[in-house]
Amino acid sequence: MEDPIDILEPSQVVRIFAAVQEPDYDVPWQTDSPSSSTGSGVIIGPNRILTGAHVVADATFLQVQTVDDSDKHVAEVVAICHDSDLALLRLHDPAALGGIPPAELGDLPERRARIAVVGYPVGGEELSITEGVVSRIEVQRYAHSQRDLLAMTVDAAINSGNSGGPVVHEGRVVGIAFQSLEDAENMGEVVPAPLIRRFLRGVDEGLPLEVPGFGLETQGLENECLRRALHVPDGETGVLVKRISQGNSCYGVIEPGDVILSIDGHSIANNGTVRYKGVRTTLGVLLGERFIGERIPVLVRRGGEVLGLEIVLTQLRELVPSSRYGIEPTYFVFAGIVFQPLSRNFLQAWADWSDKAPKEFLAHYFLGHRTEERQEIIVVSQVLADEVTVGYAPLNWESIVSVNGVVPRDMADFVRLVEASPGTATLITASQGHLVFDMEEARSAEERILGRYRIPRDRSPNLARRT
């Protein structure tokens, strides 16, 4: 059998140096202190370097170094897909890569296939090669994006600095290393070839790089009594639709109570899995090679009738967004209160956030879903001390359920409702706490409060000021 790293030249694997400055969601008008990190990448074309999105996320300055060059060369991001944790870089000086030939892309290997993870883990300067085998191919949770997509699990260590480097089988790149497997030694997870090919096709053809989302919550149909109640005949399999988040692919086409029998020609088993490229795994696998805007057929049982439907794939939209990168936090300061939309980035301001963050916020994150009436959760993120906020500090870290009796749909709608308040603005929180402001007093206090706390502006640039 051919050696898994045969043909791949050491010079094709590069080291990436990133200067990073992340936003501070605790103080949303500021950023965290700059930091630095390293990762790996692989040359896949003329002045084209493939790496992991997490290697270059929130980077302010990038450099690349090849194994035979002592100099570092300035680079920039050409394209990035945070969903599938992939990024494409290029050097400002293409000649710096000399005559290095690009590595070839391979196909999805079979389980037990021999592979090598190649890169520059921390603790040394030399290229590292760790060999192992493909132990699993199935849908996994991507730590960078919290998306459930196809991944390969390999019994080869993926350490800090090694991430973003190529995983090689029979001399061809079949994946990009992206995370270690929790609670396991010398196990790593890899973005597989099908997702890489989708990403590169999207770059070449100018297609949206974000991975679409169904927006579905489903329940398996293993229980015979449940199947009878839903009039599902013997020999038919599928999943029950519990609810659908507004703005997603299935919204307005599929209904709660429907039984989905197949998607895009793939029959759905009663445990919610499909057969895909020789493996059985969960529904998320069907999105990994698709693009926003594509149309796919769906077969459902609705009552006693089987219906053939079609959905248009859209970007995944969540009530509480998962991690976002490369964008400024959204915020609004009114009368000494700082408001933000709830997001995973905001939750991560708490150390050990999944245990320590307010339980209301965690319930929205893990259990909430978008509706026409409520598409974001607006929270009180800070109560700044001032005479207009006296007595309101206990209402910090609560969500806003109404403004003058109206439920705010999203952050922009919340700002509009507050600024349109006649005379008095009354904001009700989830605990039925009252934040009541005299609008004239609130407006006169704005300059004083912003100056005292050195806040450059009362809102993030994406929130338009009322004209």
pLDDT at 122: 78
Average pLDDT over residues 380-393: 96
What is the residue extent of each domain of the chain? 1-210, 213-315, 332-452
Residues forming the active site: 54, 85, 163
pLDDT at 467: 47
**Predicted structure pTM score:** 0.92
Average pLDDT over residues 279-291: 92
Average pLDDT over residues 158-187: 84
- The CATH T-level fold of domain 1-210 is Thrombin, subunit H (2.40.10)
pLDDT at 455: 96
Query: Does the structure show a pLDDT above 90 at 465?
Result: no
- Alpha-carbon separation of residue 306 from 222, 233, 234 (angstroms): 20, 11, 14
pLDDT at 36: 93
98-117 pLDDT, tens digit per residue, is 889 999 999 999 999 999 99
**What DSSP assignment string belongs to 221-270?**
---HHHHHHTTPPTT---EEEEEE-TTSTTBTTB-TT-EEEEETTEEPPT
- Alpha-carbon separation of residue 237 from 247, 253, 262, 270 (angstroms): 27, 20, 9, 5
Cβ pair 52, 163 in contact under 8 A = yes
pLDDT at 240: 97
% of residues, the chain, pLDDT over 90: 84
In sign, the C-alpha dihedral spanning 163, 88, 81, 31 is: positive
Average pLDDT over residues 1-18: 80
55-100 pLDDT, tens digit per residue, is 999 999 999 999 888 899 999 999 999 999 999 999 999 999 888 9
Query: Does the structure show a pLDDT above 60 at 354?
Result: yes
Query: Does the structure show a pLDDT above 60 at 152?
Result: yes
Query: Does the structure show a pLDDT above 70 at 184?
Result: no
Q: Please provide the average confidence, as pLDDT, over all residues in the chain.
A: 93
pLDDT band of 298, cuts 50, 70, 90 = very high
**What DSSP assignment string belongs to 183-202?**
T-SS-EEEEEHHHHHHHHHH
Query: Does the structure show a pLDDT above 50 at 136?
Result: yes
pLDDT at 194: 95
pLDDT at 157: 74
> For residue 365, what is the enclosing H or E element?
helix 359-367
- The CATH T-level fold of domain 332-452 is N-terminal domain of MutM-like DNA repair proteins (3.20.190)
pLDDT at 2: 56
- What is the rounded distance in angstroms from the CA atom of residue 389 to the CA atom of residue 335? 7
Average pLDDT over residues 388-410: 96
Residue 360 backbone zone (phi > 0: left; psi -120 to 50: alpha; other: beta) = alpha
- The CATH T-level fold of domain 213-315 is Pdz3 Domain (2.30.42)
Query: Does the structure show a pLDDT above 60 at 399?
Result: yes
